[in-house]
């Protein structure tokens, strides 16, 4: 008999590998709300230029807003791959 601590059970945490299956092809994505509109609209296309074009169309139709070249420049950094 000795003085000691009970053996500490080795808790082996097997981290569950969560493999997120992402679509193989990522799309250039713009969330309308990121631009500042209170809108759930998501614009997706293969290229940034296409997203901008669709965004301009959407802004006009849904928000009666004309996307100026200056606005387009501000929108560009908001486009990400998703």
- List of residues contacting Zn ion (CB under 5 A): 32, 37, 39, 41, 62
Q: Could you tell me if 35 and 78 are in contact, meaning their C-beta atoms sit under 8 angstroms apart?
A: yes
CB 66 → Zn ion: shortest distance, Å? 14
Task: Supply 43's token pair.
Answer: 């614009």
48 or 63, CB closer to Zn ion? 63
CB 77 → Zn ion: shortest distance, Å? 18
CB 42 → Zn ion: shortest distance, Å? 9
What is the spatial distance between Cα 81 and Cα 42, in angstroms, rounded to a whole number? 12
SS3 call for 46: coil
């Amino acid at each position: 008999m000795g003085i000691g601590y009970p053996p500490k059970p080795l808790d082996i945490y097997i981290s569950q590998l969560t493999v997120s299956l992402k679509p193989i092809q990522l799309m250039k994505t713009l969330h309308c709300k990121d631009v500042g509109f209170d809108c759930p609209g998501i614009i997706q296309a293969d290229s940034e230029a296409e997203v901008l074009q669709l965004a301009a169309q959407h802004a006009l139709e849904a928000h009666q807003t004309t996307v100026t070249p200056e606005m387009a420049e501000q929108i560009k950094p908001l486009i990400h791959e998703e």
